[in-house]
A and B are shown apart, each in its own frame.
Chain A
Amino acid sequence: MSEAQDYKHIGQRTIRPDGYDKVTGRANYAADLALPGMIWAKVLRSPHAHARIVSIDISKVEALPDVMAVATHADIPNQADPGAINILAKEKALYHGHAIAGVAAKTETAAEAALALIEVNYEVLPPIMSIEDAMADGAALIHENLITKGMAEQPTSPSNVSSRMEMNKGDMTAGFAEADVIVEREYRTPTVHQGYIEPHACTVRFDEDGQSMIWCSTQGHFGVRASTAGLLNLEQSKLKVIASEIGGGFGGKTVVYLEPLALILSKKSGRPVKIQMDRDEVFKASGPGSATRIKVKIGAKKDGAITAMEAHLYYESGAFPGAAPLGPGCMTIFTPYDVPNQYVEGFDVVVNKAKVAAYRAPGAPQSEYACEMLINELADELGIDPIDFRLQNAAKEDTQTLYGPKLKAVGLVECLEAAKNSAQYKSALEKNQGRGVAAGFWFNIGGVSSVIINMNEDGTGTILEGSPDIGGSRASMQMMAAEELQMPTDTFTAIIPDTAHIAHSDTTGGSRTTFATGMAVVEAAADIVTQFKERAAAVWNVTPEQVEWKDGIAINTSGDGEMTAAEICAAAGRTGGQITGLGNINARGAGPSFAVHIADIEVDTDTGKSDVIRYTAIQDAGKAIHPGYVEGQYQGGAAQGIGWALNEEYIFNKDGLMENPGFLDYRIPLASDLPMIEAIIVEVPNSFHPFGVRGVGETGIIPPLAACGTAVSQAIGIRMSELPLSPPRVLKAILEA
């Protein structure tokens, strides 16, 4: 379907349309809106990781002159909504930072000060902070009625394990019997945060009779509308959500924390309300990515053929059953390998931590880290180059996946070959340096996208799309519209209207926006081409079939005559009204994007500090619409993964309280921590997409964990199996070796 083609507009490095506002400070983010009469709210949060809420007394706060409204769980109109207990805790505080009450006051300072006067009587309970603690015999129960789902025999007593899943293909016994070498190891990854620089914030106005509104930063404003309307028992038509510019999300801005509470406080006070989280609230109460414990076992023949792969995965879901990205973790772990015998078992485990949220390729970095580490170890055991070992066993077209269908054309082999031919892989290492290679697989998703293109009287077009733009997607929408209509890119302006002005679109996530919303843009643009032909035909008094659309001009093929888009649009009133193209679709056929990364790391053996000295990120984009922003996704994913591998982790004390809720102590990579990141775009077209596009946003965070993990292990000559490879952990390993 999609052969390599010459494109005129896509593939160019255009200047993004929202860039001007962002480099001048004009762009408006979540915290940037103030409304007349607006008041401020703050949230009281649990100082305990696990506690029963015996009573809450708000009488002293309500009496304060500056306080306009107070809300607790009882004020949530829809008590049956399962999301309600993470907006405001009900019977129990389930993690350090769990929201207990909200106060709205005339100033932010007054709201903050008022929190201290809320009297909460807690009965402190023992916190469950790890998978081991949660699954230990006699462990305290976080939820007294949680019965594990998915067991062969339904358990009769509750536990902290909310579900089990299992997948298999082939014959594991026979597979391991064929192997000459079998390696087996357990890996651990910590609780991490998406680390977006913009804290959650919103400004809302409840309107009893008309349109309530929410201004917030979100990956999906239709999701905010659905969740908030559900919790407040509002009709969706009575609630308008405006997606501000979004200061990073990475999966963490796919859920609501503040918006329903703010709207309740606005309703009670009769004033617009603004809430913004402090950074420590962001760390304690939003986000985190699942901590895991993963056992992997792989067998291979001496010639390098892998015969069997087995894994047992344990994922923390926070205190909310089923929140862990366990399914994708299980489904992705072995997908880079064309191996007949595979078995995966997974458990979702509750602990007293914040509810796990999606984090860039949710679940995959953890499971694939474990697999890729062991693959590198096995390559060493067999004396085979790790890229050659992967090439020999690589998934390709028609490989039977563990999770279901056979793969279509994918670019893993091409990425591996590009890695082998890269300058970095051919370079030599020095003392105390190590090199790691790892692959990554992520499905990508399609889903519902809504697009309208309104053609203006001067022949320019306004693209309305329902997908918040988190990394430059407005630029790619303009380019795809330009390509389909064969008109200059700057003819089009792309905007993301509020929920009242376009139909539902799924959240920006799953690397879907350029892929799926781009498909909707192409459909809307094609709709306009059809109408252009009809309108030109009406002017020329010929049939639409006699009109050709070429290079942005309508040509009368049965006589003389050409009309530009501007001429057709200027005449639109006379030929049937204004011209609007529509693309409301449910996109299917998302194509996986495989990646291969190479990390070179030098370890200071005196301090245990690891420095990434060279890095290459290679990934299949299918077709790169805007190569600059595709490279940016690879580089950004690599940096995030490097942070996960080397430094980032939540540190809890023995009482389950988070000790490092700030950027000073939860250290994400700084400019001085990283080298340039060589980005290599491989293009194996996705056969289901008109331009061959694959989603590119998420895969890049997967390989760095094992690439860095292997590089550090090689540099110090010790196989490390627990992340992060922070200086104390690495130094301890060196000293104990």
Chain B
Amino acid sequence: MTKSHITATINGDVREFLCEPGDTLLQSLRDELGLTGTKEGCGSGDCGACSVTVNGRLVCSCLVLAVEVDGAEVGTVEGIGEPDKLHVIQQKFLEHAALQCGICTPGLIVSTKALLEENPSPTEEEARYYLAGNLCRCTGYDKIIKAVMDAAETMRGTA
């Protein structure tokens, strides 16, 4: 099978990789590029553990073909926060105990960042509906929503 050569900007770095026509972006990120922070929970776009951004738009990377990101900008959890400083969203997840097993956390961090870029002042209901595509089986979402609302407030600078 002929592989395709893809060039994409991933977390700000220009990266090149080969993929087969049927490979998903999730497979390429994890198996070719070593970016295993993006998780696979279902492979069918139902759980959100593989959430990334493509050209700023929030997507499930299991539903995007790797060949589709040629020339695109891809954002994953590894691109959030600075090496020596967590992003406010990450910090608030820790402070609010908003994770237990942590498998859904990378996807939720990516989705929350997308939410707050689109809507810096979400209501609790807006946050819940925006994050409805990110399943968490451990927390009951209570502390996740509290962390998101607190992060929003802090990022608005009104805390």
Contacts and interface: CB of A to CB of B under 8 A. Distances in A.
A and B touch in the complex (CB under 8 A): yes
Contact of B102 (A247, A250, A670): A247
Of residues B99, B104, B105, B137, which shows the largest number of chain A Cβ atoms within 10 Å of its Cβ? B137
A471 interface: yes
A135 to B, nearest CB: 33
B17 interface: no
Given A196-B101, A246-B101, A471 B138 contact: yes
Given A24-B90, A638-B140, A663 B101 contact: no
Given A24-B86, A471-B138, A472-B100, 5 more contacts: A24-B78, A196-B101, A199-B41, A245-B103, A632-B143
Of residues A15, A197, A628, A673, which shows the largest number of chain B Cβ atoms within 10 Å of its Cβ? A197
Contacts of A635: 139-143
Nearest to A639: B140
A668 B36 CA distance: 25
A636 B77 contact: no
A540 interface: no
A198 B41 contact: yes
B105 A23 contact: yes
Given A632-B138, A632-B143, A639-B141, A25 B97 contact: no
Given A199-B40, A674-B140, A677-B140, A663 B95 contact: no
A245 B132 CA distance: 24
B98 to A, nearest CB: 8
Nearest to A662: B44
Contacts of A276: 40
Contacts of A639: 137, 139-141
Contacts of B127: 671
- The 10 closest A-B CB pairs, nearest first, are A25-B37, A247-B103, A639-B140, A22-B102, A628-B97, A635-B140, A25-B77, A663-B46, A23-B90, A672-B132
Nearest to B40: A31
Nearest to B105: A22
Interface string B129-159: 1011111111111111110000000000000
A28 B30 CA distance: 12
B46 A250 contact: no
A26 B140 CA distance: 24
B142 A247 contact: no
A15 B84 CA distance: 17
B143 A20 contact: no
Contact of B47 (A26, A278, A663, A669): A663
Interface of B: 20, 22, 30-31, 35-44, 46-47, 49, 76-78, 80-81, 86, 90, 93-97, 99-106, 109, 124-125, 127-129, 131-146
A197 B103 contact: yes
Contacts of A245: 101-103
Nearest to A642: B140
Provide the main secondary structure of the chain B interface: loop
Contacts of A472: 97, 100
12 contacts: A15-B95, A22-B105, A23-B99, A29-B39, A31-B36, A31-B40, A32-B30, A196-B101, A628-B97, A631-B143, A663-B135, A677-B142
B50 to A, nearest CB: 11
Given A671-B131, A672-B128, A25 B78 contact: yes
Contacts of A668: 135, 137
A24 B81 contact: yes
A276 B39 CA distance: 12
Of residues B42, B109, B134, B142, which shows the largest number of chain A Cβ atoms within 10 Å of its Cβ? B142
A382 to B, nearest CB: 33
A675 to B, nearest CB: 9
Given A25-B38, A663-B44, A668-B135, A20 B94 contact: yes
Contacts of A23: 81, 86, 90, 93-94, 99, 102, 105-106, 109
